[in-house]
A and B are shown apart, each in its own frame.
Chain A
């Protein structure tokens, strides 16, 4: 099965238009998707929890409002899957970790409030690598998610459940979070569109923190137009997130069809030549670049030298921030507590039983990178490398409007193929990490398949707040991919 023939291939925009005009009921739309979930999620395991009753209730209310002449919003009646690291009031939010199993947040994340305000209907919380640490969704405490295109393969990660839910037709839209590629890489492996906004464009209030200077929430969809609509619904300033950009979010949908004539597109040499990037992935990337050239863009190779240090810098900065953020899981205020005679021993036992191996690995790596004697050599230097990457991107964007690279080095790999050696798994993120370190927007768009018949994604990167141009280029790649197959 390819992305083109997924079941329930309705677009979010198509559903919303039909629901708003009263030609289709939100209840029917929700039931169809709940049926699809019931039929196949046993095999895929995209969801940690399906919120069927709440979804039905919300859909009923939407239909009532439409009948009363109300407009419930741009995403009226559209089912959305939420990565299970976004807080939902009264609905378990686990981060796929034992340490948060059964925890019901006392508040909603800002993105959850904005989805409701746009008329979208949350159908469930999706599986992830524990605390979003991983690239295959195999680090979940509740078992892996499988790739809907081939269930012997991983969906990518860490937002693997959200990517799989969209690819399998369980929901036309999903939200993920992206710290080093956790939206874009699973989008590529599952043959869907995935986008990481400019840092600060979408509120992180209510997103369980992993690495606070890198984390961003963003959309998954089956089309670029749907991803644009979801991005617009969730973006914009939020006073409850002090890192939120105090300006209106860039509008992207209106310009989607403007084409790429005259745009300057750079192919990043260092990411094309990065460790482990497969020849079939590079071939699809070059075809996508040629298609943009045919559409009137000016395509050239460009060097962004410092990105070669991205992987190393990221795997020091992100664990360092994680080691601090995850100190809050101590068994005192919420989540798991393993009883012990003293508070100190209670901390130790709770954290030892509550966290999985990858989370422990990153906490220790981060603690080491921040510890006396190593701070300057590791953490301090990585922060300076971040400046180098920003400078090199800045130089490239003097000559180019957007940059292109592979999203992931390969197509979806077999379950278990990369679990033995953490570093092999980390190499999945080599092309996606630089945009996180720079805080820039980037997205993955499907373009054809690899030698194994599985989806390949092309990454489009842009400077801070360059979403409008980035989406235009993504739309051009999407239409080229459709006419190439």
Chain B
């Protein structure tokens, strides 16, 4: 596997919605490379015939009874919001245009 590059780190930072300074980009690239280097032991394993485990205790189709039950009320859900309007979460313009 190729070493993780500054461009890779800049790319994942964008995907994760994080802004990095040039200095941070350098530090994180170096640190992530070290961790991924340690992971080469896993990468090198031939485990194609081993099924993956996504969960240690496999439960299937966990469903509750189809009955009405109380849930969090709107006022309580909105109470901690940074901005609210008409009983909804208010955010800045999504497309960059002022309302």
Q: Which residues of B contact A422 (CB under 8 A)?
A: 31, 34-35
Interface positions, chain B 72-88, Cβ under 8 Å from A, are: 72, 76-77, 79-83
Shortest beta-carbon distance from B16 to chain A in Å: 5
Checking A106, A363, A367, A382 against B72 with a beta-carbon cut-off of 8 angstroms, the contacting residue is A106
Shortest beta-carbon distance from A259 to chain B in Å: 30
Are A311 and B38 in contact, with the CB atoms below 8 A? yes
Are B93 and A106 in contact, with the CB atoms below 8 A? no
Q: Which residues of B contact A385 (CB under 8 A)?
A: 42, 45, 47
Shortest beta-carbon distance from B28 to chain A in Å: 6
Are B76 and A351 in contact, with the CB atoms below 8 A? no
With most chain A CB atoms within 10 A of its CB, the pick from B17, B55, B64 is: B17
Query: A348-B18, A377-B1, A423-B35 are known contacts. Are A312 and B42 too (CB-CB below 8 A)?
Result: yes
**Number of A-B residue pairs with CB-CB distance less than 8 Å in the complex they form:** 180
Shortest beta-carbon distance from A429 to chain B in Å: 12
Describe B's contact surface by its main secondary structure: loop
Chain A contact patch, size range: 35 or more
Are A368 and B4 in contact, with the CB atoms below 8 A? yes
Are A437 and B56 in contact, with the CB atoms below 8 A? yes
With most chain B CB atoms within 10 A of its CB, the pick from A331, A339, A426 is: A331
Are B19 and A371 in contact, with the CB atoms below 8 A? no
Interface positions, chain A 252-275, Cβ under 8 Å from B, are: none
Are B59 and A242 in contact, with the CB atoms below 8 A? yes
Checking A239, A335, A345, A381 against B42 with a beta-carbon cut-off of 8 angstroms, the contacting residue is A381
**A421 at the binding interface (Cβ < 8 Å):** yes
Are B35 and A342 in contact, with the CB atoms below 8 A? no
Query: A343-B91, A390-B53 are known contacts. Are A103 and B80 too (CB-CB below 8 A)?
Result: yes
Are A361 and B18 in contact, with the CB atoms below 8 A? no
Q: Which residues of A contact B28 (CB under 8 A)?
A: 360-361, 364
Are A312 and B38 in contact, with the CB atoms below 8 A? yes
Q: Which residues of A contact B45 (CB under 8 A)?
A: 309, 381, 384-385
Query: A308-B41, A348-B18, A383-B53 are known contacts. Are A341 and B93 too (CB-CB below 8 A)?
Result: yes
> From B32, which residue of chain A is reached at the shortest CB distance?
A365
Checking B39, B40, B47, B79 against A388 with a beta-carbon cut-off of 8 angstroms, the contacting residue is B47
Chain B contact patch, size range: 35 or more
Provide the bound-state CA to CA distance between A468 and B93, in Å.
Answer: 56
Shortest beta-carbon distance from B69 to chain A in Å: 10
> From A377, which residue of chain B is reached at the shortest CB distance?
B43
Q: Which residues of A contact B79 (CB under 8 A)?
A: 104, 106
With most chain B CB atoms within 10 A of its CB, the pick from A103, A337, A342 is: A342
Interface positions, chain B 14-56, Cβ under 8 Å from A, are: 15-19, 28, 31-32, 34-36, 38-43, 45, 47, 50-56
Checking A342, A364, A382 against B18 with a beta-carbon cut-off of 8 angstroms, the contacting residue is A364
Q: Which residues of B contact A312 (CB under 8 A)?
A: 38-42
Are B92 and A242 in contact, with the CB atoms below 8 A? no
Q: Which residues of B contact A239 (CB under 8 A)?
A: 64
**A245 at the binding interface (Cβ < 8 Å):** yes
**A220 at the binding interface (Cβ < 8 Å):** no
Provide the bound-state CA to CA distance between A327 and B95, in Å.
Answer: 20
Provide the bound-state CA to CA distance between A422 and B47, in Å.
Answer: 28
Q: Which residues of B contact A199 (CB under 8 A)?
A: 56-57
Provide the bound-state CA to CA distance between A200 and B43, in Å.
Answer: 29
Interface positions, chain A 278-333, Cβ under 8 Å from B, are: 308-309, 311-313, 315-316, 323, 330-333
> From A363, which residue of chain B is reached at the shortest CB distance?
B16
Query: A103-B80, A360-B18 are known contacts. Are A390 and B56 too (CB-CB below 8 A)?
Result: yes
**Apart from A239-B64, A384-B51, what 14 extra A-B contacts exist at CB < 8 Å?**
A213-B55, A246-B59, A316-B42, A331-B82, A339-B92, A345-B92, A364-B18, A377-B43, A378-B43, A380-B52, A385-B45, A387-B52, A437-B56, A440-B56
A contact set with B: CB distance below 8 Å: 103-107, 198-200, 213, 239, 242-243, 245-246, 308-309, 311-313, 315-316, 323, 330-337, 339-349, 351-352, 355, 360-361, 363-365, 367-368, 371, 377-378, 380-388, 390, 421-423, 426, 437-440, 464
